[in-house]
Structure 1
């Protein structure tokens, strides 16, 4: 489970898509850039079980950003 999930726009005062994300997973912080197509460029390493993490992040982004 992801903990302390946060996001913010990459491009302030713009409608360009793209968000920076941050969360804890297995007691380690992960940061990345979330792109419109759902891809993530990880900033400090890829989390274990990346496919499962991608699904969780995508679900959270769908809930917070797209709805």
Structure 2
């Protein structure tokens, strides 16, 4: 389960899509860039291969809820 999910616009002009995000998972901080295409670029602590699909799915759901609602 993701804890303390946060996101902010990647650019100062908020009309340009792209967001920085971060969260904690298994007591480790992860961060990345969420691109308008839905691609996730991990910038700190890339998740283990066994967790990456589940975490990517959860990030997509959270971004859809918070940004695209």
TM-score (ref. length: structure 2): 0.90
Alignment check: 8 A CA contact 1:25 1:47 kept = no
Q: Give me the whole-angstrom Cα distance separating, in 2, the residues matched to 1:63 and 1:44.
A: 23
1:30-63 CA distances to partner (integer Å, 9 max, x unpaired)? 0101101111111112112101100000000000
TM-score (ref. length: structure 1): 0.93
Give the number of equivalent residue pairs: 67
Unaligned runs of 5+ in 2: none
- Residue in 2 aligned with 1:59? 61
Runs of 4+ in structure 1 over 6 Å off: none
Q: CA RMSD in A?
A: 0.9
